Amino acid sequence: MKQLEIIYYLCTSFFIVYELYALFNTKAFIAVHNYADEINKTKDYSLNEEAKAIIYMAIVGSIYALWLLAGLLTFQWFPFLLLIFTSVVFKRAIKLRKPLGLKLDALISLCLLLFIITNKIWLNISLF
């Protein structure tokens, strides 16, 4: 059981890298969302680089969502709940292609992910 826990929390490092990418490449995220809207309007489903980026973001986003839901079952459920809450709150800013909202979402998510790792390894604070 301890090995699964280690693997689970190692996945956090992957999501930290993902949030860092979102924080420093907001133009790329906005371009992918613009291209996704263009595909929905034109119904042109050809597989080019932008389409591959959309597929990659959808796969990573799905894995991230499942990871967050599984995190609700741990003793650190409150930071995971905050991560879900911030993604819902900033969803509108992302849909409106606001770079500041996307950066703020990535920064808050990054801080919460770092807290989750720090709490697991060193602090061991049982939240609620």
pLDDT digits (tens, 9 = 90+) for 74-124: 888 888 898 888 888 777 666 666 777 778 888 888 999 999 888 877 777
User: Where in the chain are the domains?
Assistant: 2-40+49-123
Backbone angles phi and psi of 23, in degrees to 5 = -70, -40
Query: For 4-14, what is each residue's pLDDT tens digit?
Result: 778 888 888 88
Between CA 20 and CA 8 the distance in angstroms is 19
Rounded Cα distance between 16 and 54, Å, is 19
Enter the pTM of the model. 0.78
- CA–CA gap between residue 48 and residue 39 (Å, rounded): 12
